[in-house]
Amino acid sequence: MTESHSRVAIVTGAGRGIGAAVARKLASDGFAVALLDLNEESVKQGAEDIVSAGGRAIGVALDVSNAEQVEAAVARVAEELGAPTVLVNNAGITRDNLIFKMTEQDWDSVLGVHLKGSFLMTRAAQKYMTEQRWGRIVNLSSTSALGNRGQVNYSAAKAGMQGFTKTLAIELGKFGITANAIAPGFIETDMTAATAERLGVPFEDFKAFAAKEIPVQRTGTPDDIAHTVSFLVSEGAGFVSGQVIYVAGGPKD
Ligand code: NAP
């Protein structure tokens, strides 16, 4: 078993895509993992898979933008697995449109899941981290934080995640807690598949087109992000805090 065997990690949006890969990776690193998602069936299955492989895990359904559900879910994790001292704020949605066509609801939904959801989750979990004098928070930003046509809501949320992360690092550092953001580039998930569909381009063509512009000449996978999370939540990463790591196959900022 690894050094992190006794630690409990929460991953939001763990039902599929990047979150599911992060949950699997943290379980294989020795963490007990709580998989949180809107979709109860998928996180229950993900948790069962981890338990079948010899790990400890539970799946909990919630909407991260609902304060009551967040408080109840985090309390349940603490009761069933132990104090959560690792939090990966990964749950996310897109509601893309050019600004002149963007509805108020598209704006509120995206800011609500990414920013308010991360705030609510972090507020609930930091209590356990400060008590334990140890914690690791990883927030999912995006290269879209630098600006992306059709994503004024999403890019504002993802830029917001970076400021949120840096302030958490400043406020919580004295309790042995680090906070960092990962800003992925193009990662092959349902989210990018949906973008291809919206643009009317076959996903394989969309990926091939994107890969040409990426220095390593390929698009990313959920495991690329899971490996970066694994490093940031490790014992050895305790002096890395308030950083934004672009995981995009090349430089971005
Ligand atoms: P994905 O495949 O669409 O998965 C997102 C997950 O989040 C889904 O399981 C979804 O649940 C869940 N979720 C959505 N709203 C939620 C809510 N209110 N409460 C709880 N769970 C919720 O997305 P992904 O590509 O893995 O992206 C994961 C994160 O990385 C997101 O923050 C995204 O913005 C970020 N990111 C992705 C890329 C990329 O290229 N894919 C690039 C940069 C950043 P349901 O299954 O029920 O919908």
Residues 130, 195 within the same domain: no
What are the residue numbers of the active site?
154
Q: Give residue 6's pLDDT.
A: 75
Residue 3 lies in a domain: no
Residue type, 126: Q
CATH of residue 17: 3.40.50.720
DSSP annotation of 201: -
Ligand 1 binding pocket includes 23 (Cβ within 6 Å)? no
Query: Is it the case that residue 236 has pLDDT exceeding 90?
Result: yes
Residues 180, 116 within the same domain: yes
- Nearest by Cα to 25 from 62, 53, 45, 6: 53
Residues 86, 127 within the same domain: yes
Residues 152, 204 within the same domain: no
Query: Is it the case that residue 134 has pLDDT exceeding 70?
Result: yes
Residue 161's domain spans which residues? 8-185+223-246
Residues 57, 92 within the same domain: yes
Q: Phi and psi at residue 196, in whole multiples of 5°?
A: -60, -45
Residue 191 CA to ligand 1 center (angstroms) comes to 7
Residues 88, 209 within the same domain: no
Ligand 1 binding pocket includes 37 (Cβ within 6 Å)? yes
pTM value surpassing 0.75 = yes
* Segment 71-112, tens digit of pLDDT: 999 999 999 999 999 999 999 999 999 999 999 999 999 999
**What are 138's two structure tokens?**
């990883």
* Segment 143-201, tens digit of pLDDT: 999 999 999 999 999 999 999 999 999 999 999 999 999 999 999 999 999 999 989 99
Residues 136, 233 within the same domain: yes
- Residue 89 CA: which ligand 1 atom is closest? 32
